Amino acid sequence: MTQAAQLRAVIYARYSSHNQTEQSIEGQLHDGYAFAERNEYQVIGEYIDRALTGTKDQRPDFQRMIRDAEKRQFQVVIVWKLDRFARNRYDSAIYKAKLKKYGVRVVSVMENITEGPEGIILEGLLESMAEYYSANLSENIRRGQKESMAKGWYLGAPPPLGYRVQEHRLVEDERTAPIAREIFQRYADGESPSSIAADLNERGLRTRRGHPFRISTFDGMLQSTTYIGKHVYSGQVIEGLADAIIDEDTFNRAVQRRQKNKRAPAQQKAKTRYLLQGKIFCGHCGSPMIGESGRSHTGDVHNYYACATRKKYHTCKKKNEKKGFIEWYVCEQTMLYILDPQRIDVIAKAVVAEYNKEFNDGQVEDLERTVKRLEADMNRLVDQLLVVPKEALPTIHERMKQVGQEKEEAETDLAKMKLAKNIQLSESQVKAWLRTFQNGDLLDEEFRQRIIDVFINSVYLYDDKVVIFYNIRGGKQVSAIEMIDALDEPVEGSDLTGYAPPFTDKSEPRLIFVHGLIGIVIQR
């Protein structure tokens, strides 16, 4: 795979000082780079939080990584283990949902799948709950904003350059309004944005946020009708909310020049999403199947999954697989043979068991004991302040700071755990959520991605058959050796054998099992 075609990745590493058994930052990075090389990811950056717990989401580099994901410069976040990303499943669901919006997936070095099977389904359910809560919260916020705007009030966003907020209105800021007028006047008179920005910076002037001026600073500013007293909110002009600090003639000349000079954006190169990336393997040699594209003699672009060994060493006979068909086919088989009413009952029971195991009284009690232990540690340190020599005080103070931070984090974890424990998750709720997959549109790429993320453990492709393993029971991703061994063993005595369709011809799948996971073998 050429470097341009590689998926770009970043590595997130975290270390909690109070847990001395965790892998070091350097070890996490070493393993992360090795994992990226094996999977042909191009690592373009690192995000590192030292001495910060994964149950606390206010981690500086973690939050920076979430913000940077919006720039769409990387498609994969590599973590040593998934508890490096978040130890609270609610936070994990929320932040993974944010990353998905930007086309970013989280992969684990030490855990071959994104979670344990029931955990993946549980996280998908929690993600849906989070989306529902977020939608309701957004609706309430919009309702409140509309009521405030109806009263002629300016909302709480930072005011534009040249304004300050006074009694819920945007009024002229005597200090920065002259800068805004100068920018409009100079641009309307024909000066370039780069020249204006360079001059303002040389004079020591700064934006409203205190940053140097850039060309991008002027993009929204030079078309905002707020500057002529016509503040726009949700497509409606709110009269009387803002002072007019730019005359309409200057404003119109600036807008006309901007529209004239505005170049049509270059057509962006389409970024192809390979939905089965990391879960699809060559049945012949066990190597990952990686995405690649080719152009036909007519100029059309075609996308495939190709065996990495065949592509790199030319030693495997596996043919390329058309991306669109194989992704659709795997999802179609899943809906046919996995998402039937009887199997949904099995899944629902497993998910509820996983939830009850994760959020229980025992874990609450463990966290309560941790808080008490840290509080006792702090009291002992305070007592030591009275008796230790003066030169030892800095060490005591540093240790008090560390214990105080750990106690604050443990208290936050305890509050979250108590909240989660009070939410009752029933089998009927899980079944209702799973049934939403039954009526999905297989032609919708987002729906296929959901199916793959939640249910697919691994897919092994031969030229004459497909082997699909599902996240129904068990744990790790099925390896090629385990898959081959399972193919050679007849299935007998399983209580799930009855779920399979009758084997009347070679097109009907047969069931195989590997450490508790169900697999189906489909002849092609």
Instruction: Answer yes or no: are the C-beta atoms of 58 and 79 closer than 8 Å.
Output: no
Instruction: Over range 495-501, report the average pLDDT.
Output: 36
| Conformation bin of residue 251: beta by default, left when phi > 0, alpha when psi is -120 to 50 | alpha
According to DSSP, the residues that pair with 517 across neighbouring strands are 514
Please say if the pLDDT value at position 326 is more than 90: yes
Distance from C-alpha of 348 to C-alpha of 356, rounded to nearest angstrom:
12
Q: Residues with Cβ < 8 Å from 343, sequence gap 6 or more?
A: 472, 496, 499
Q: What is the DSSP letter of 288?
A: B
Residue 63, SS3 per DSSP: helix
Residue 255, SS3 per DSSP: helix
Structure confidence at residue 185 (pLDDT): 93
What stretch of H or E contains 468?
Answer: strand 465-470
From residue 191, alpha-carbon distances to 194, 197, 211, 247 in Å are 9, 10, 21, 18
For residue 503, what pLDDT band results from cuts at 50, 70 and 90?
Answer: very low
Distance from C-alpha of 96 to C-alpha of 139, rounded to nearest angstrom:
22
In 245-355, beta strands by DSSP E: 280-282, 289-295, 301-307, 321-322
Please say if the pLDDT value at position 497 is more than 60: no
- CA 32 remoteness from chain centre: 18
Please say if the pLDDT value at position 254 is more than 80: yes
pLDDT in tens, 206-241: 887 777 888 888 878 888 888 988 877 666 677 778
Comparison of pLDDT for 205 and 90, the residue scoring more: 205
Structure confidence at residue 500 (pLDDT): 37
For residue 10, what pLDDT band results from cuts at 50, 70 and 90?
Answer: very high
Structure confidence at residue 380 (pLDDT): 83
Structure pTM?
0.44
Instruction: Over range 342-351, report the average pLDDT.
Output: 74
Where would I find the H helices in 189-283? 193-202, 217-221, 248-261
Phi and psi dihedrals of 107, rounded to 5? -125, 150
How do strand 228-233 and strand 236-244 relate by DSSP bridges? Answer: antiparallel
Q: Residues with Cβ < 8 Å from 341, sequence gap 6 or more?
A: none
CA pseudo-torsion sign 16, 22, 24, 28: negative
In 245-326, beta strands by DSSP E: 280-282, 289-295, 301-307, 321-322
Instruction: Answer yes or no: are the C-beta atoms of 129 and 362 closer than 8 Å.
Output: no
pLDDT in tens, 356-389: 766 666 767 777 888 888 888 887 887 787 777 8
Comparison of pLDDT for 313 and 490, the residue scoring more: 313
Distance from C-alpha of 467 to C-alpha of 225, rounded to nearest angstrom:
60
Comparison of pLDDT for 415 and 256, the residue scoring more: 256
C-alpha count within 13 angstroms, C-beta hemisphere, residue 263 = 3
Instruction: Answer yes or no: are the C-beta atoms of 43 and 9 closer than 8 Å.
Output: yes
Place of tokens 């000079």: 261
Distance from C-alpha of 292 to C-alpha of 467, rounded to nearest angstrom:
22
Please say if the pLDDT value at position 80 is more than 80: yes
Q: What is the DSSP letter of 227?
A: G
Structure confidence at residue 329 (pLDDT): 92
Structure confidence at residue 281 (pLDDT): 92
